[in-house]
Amino acid sequence: MLEVHVDKLEPNPYQPRQNLNENTLEELTLSIETHGVVQPVVVRRTDEEDVYQIIAGERRWRAARRAGLQTVPCIVQEATDEKALELALVENLQRDDLGPLETANALQHLVHEFGLTQDQLSEQLGRSRSTIANTLRLLELPQPIKQALAEERITQGHARALLALAAEPERMMALFARIEEEGLTVRETEALTREPERSDAESEAEVGESGPPAPQPTDPHIEEVKRRLRDRLGTKVTLLPRSKGGGSIHITYHDAEDLDRILSLIAPGGPRSYTTLR
């Protein structure tokens, strides 16, 4: 391990992380000001003397510069472009630092740029082949849905469910709109993708036979709270107030991965003890 001047380090062009969260970067800066850089940055040599390219640890480097450090501890590895991307991807996956689209783009780069197969990716990253394939499929989604996924307005579970309608783009976009407007859960979304499409005439006939549902009185305050929680957590939230005051909040999650995502929003910092990597 050696100490490298912060100005002699350069970011990795293959860095899979596309967005650096300003809040977490500021928290890391404050931590480094107090404790220094605890975990070394992984780098590789460049053609320029004494200049190193970061393989893993770009956030630590940027935070160290903000904190006013002159040098950071580094571990030098010999790595090709392919290996550099693979190492950066593995570190971010282990730390749960990447969004699903960032992971998908990095995997696609390994496939297209370096010719790796999905089986090779599965072996090298420790993920099942089906997980690799499902993650890559996220890139097939229309841009508005990918944007919503990147902004965490919908979950990866929602996005994967919508892919079932890839051959029916209009239905896909209509269901996506319902997810955002109604706060549909992943299971509800999956169920709707399996329903046969009905014509407008059939829908109108059904309404004509039974009549529209009677409107239920709603408390505007409760509805506003539900909307805020739903927008923040990206899932269905139910408020059950009691007549004597107080009440309960029901938060819906689809699977262990979705539970981890919600925990990271409302109780960050804990271990990822609810997800089993496949």
| pLDDT tens for each residue of 213-257 | 444 455 777 778 888 887 778 777 777 776 667 777 878 776 677
**Domain presence at residue 244:** yes
**Domain presence at residue 216:** no
User: Catalytic: which of 27, 58, 181, 223?
Assistant: 58
**Domain presence at residue 7:** yes
Instruction: Supply the pLDDT for residue 70.
Output: 95
**Domain presence at residue 196:** no
Of 19, 51, 80, which residue constitutes the final position of a domain?
80
**Domain presence at residue 171:** no
Taking phi first (over 0 means left), then psi (-120 to 50 degrees means alpha), and beta for anything else, what does residue 186 get?
alpha
Here the CATH number for the domain that contains residue 70 is 3.90.1530.10
Of 53, 80, 107, which residue constitutes the final position of a domain?
80
What range does the domain containing 238 cover? 223-266
Of 38, 60, 80, which residue constitutes the final position of a domain?
80
**Domain presence at residue 50:** yes
Residues 6+ apart with CB under 8 A from 242: none
Instruction: Supply the pLDDT for residue 235.
Output: 77
Instruction: Supply the pLDDT for residue 276.
Output: 45
pTM, to two decimals: 0.53
**Domain presence at residue 40:** yes
What would the two tokens of residue 113 be?
């740029």
Tally of domains within the chain? 2
User: Comparing C-alpha atoms, which of 230, 237, 258, 228 is closest to residue 161?
Assistant: 258
pLDDT at 22 over 80: no
DSSP code string of the chain: -EEEEGGGEE--TT-S-----HHHHHHHHHHHHHH---SPEEEEE-SSTT-EEEEE-HHHHHHHHHTT-SEEEEEE----HHHHHHHHHHHHHHTT-S-HHHHHHHHHHHHHHH---HHHHHHHHT--HHHHHHHHHGGGS-HHHHHHHHTTSS-HHHHHHHGGGTT-HHHHHHHHHHHHHH---HHHHHHHHHSPP--HHHHHHHHHHH-PPPPPP--HHHHHHHHHHHHHHTS-EEEEE-TTS-EEEEE---SHHHHHHHHHHHSTTS---S----
What is the overall mean pLDDT for the chain?
80
Residue 26 a catalytic site member: no
Interval 98-117: pLDDT, tens: 788 888 888 888 888 778 78
**Domain presence at residue 238:** yes
Interval 25-83: pLDDT, tens: 888 899 889 889 988 998 999 989 889 999 888 888 999 999 999 999 999 988 888 88
